[in-house]
């Protein structure tokens, strides 16, 4: 027979989200450290694997390739989930207020949410400043002096990408910043 749950022991939603954000931050830091170590030691690891044969080589190379693919991805996903849960925790009721930490979390969240738009905007500004825009797939370079129509189309493309990504981030933050924080 189980005892009924005491409502005074139930954590606030903001506290639960803040704890999740902390766990995802630790996961992200750990995965990033492991990825750095793995990539730094890659040449030595590969030299050990290259001398193996048969099933030992196959399994070792597969495991190394999987680790090289999954660990950096885990670091990135952990960072995004840490920021997401941290931002959500600011706008949920918590057991005690932390205004300085809340402001830092919101600033970090805005930086993460708006960084793709800022990067796209930066590509357009860099193209205008240098008079050259580069696309990697297919490999093309358009110069303002020799091909102004294609150059301005490329700048317009980056402008549209920046506006689209900025709009999505703005819509998310408009809902967050437009309502008062719970006490």
Domain-by-domain residue ranges, the chain?
A: 1-96, 97-183
| 31 contacts: CB under 8 Å, gap ≥ 6 | 71, 72, 74, 75, 78
Tokens for 85?
Answer: 């849960």
If residue 143 lies in a helix (H) or strand (E), which one and from where to where? strand 140-143
If residue 135 lies in a helix (H) or strand (E), which one and from where to where? strand 132-135
pLDDT digits (tens, 9 = 90+) for 30-86: 999 999 999 999 999 999 999 999 999 999 999 999 999 999 999 999 999 999 999
| 158 contacts: CB under 8 Å, gap ≥ 6 | 120, 121, 123, 124, 127, 133
- The pTM is what? 0.77
CA dihedral 69, 70, 75, 77 (to 10 degrees): 110
Whether the CA torsion 67, 69, 75, 81 is positive or negative: it is negative
Look at residue 10 and tell me whether its pLDDT is greater than 90. Answer: no
């Amino acid at each position: 027979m189980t005892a009924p749950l005491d409502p005074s022991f139930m954590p606030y939603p903001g506290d639960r989200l803040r704890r999740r954000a902390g766990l995802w931050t630790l996961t992200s830091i750990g995965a990033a450290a492991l990825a750095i170590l793995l990539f730094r030691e890659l040449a030595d690891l590969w030299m050990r694997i290259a001398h193996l044969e048969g099933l030992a080589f196959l399994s070792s190379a597969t495991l190394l390739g999987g680790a090289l693919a999954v660990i950096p991805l885990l670091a990135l996903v952990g960072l995004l989930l840490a920021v997401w849960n941290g931002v959500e925790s600011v706008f949920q009721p918590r057991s005690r207020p932390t205004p300085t930490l809340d402001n830092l979390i919101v600033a970090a969240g805005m930086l993460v949410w708006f960084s793709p738009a800022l990067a796209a905007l930066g590509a357009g500004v860099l193209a205008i400043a240098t008079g050259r825009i580069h696309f990697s797939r297919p490999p093309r370079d358009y110069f303002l002096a020799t091909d102004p129509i294609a150059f301005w189309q490329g700048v317009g493309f980056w402008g549209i990408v920046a506006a689209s990504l900025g709009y999505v981030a703005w819509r998310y933050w408009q809902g967050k910043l437009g309502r008062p924080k719970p006490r």
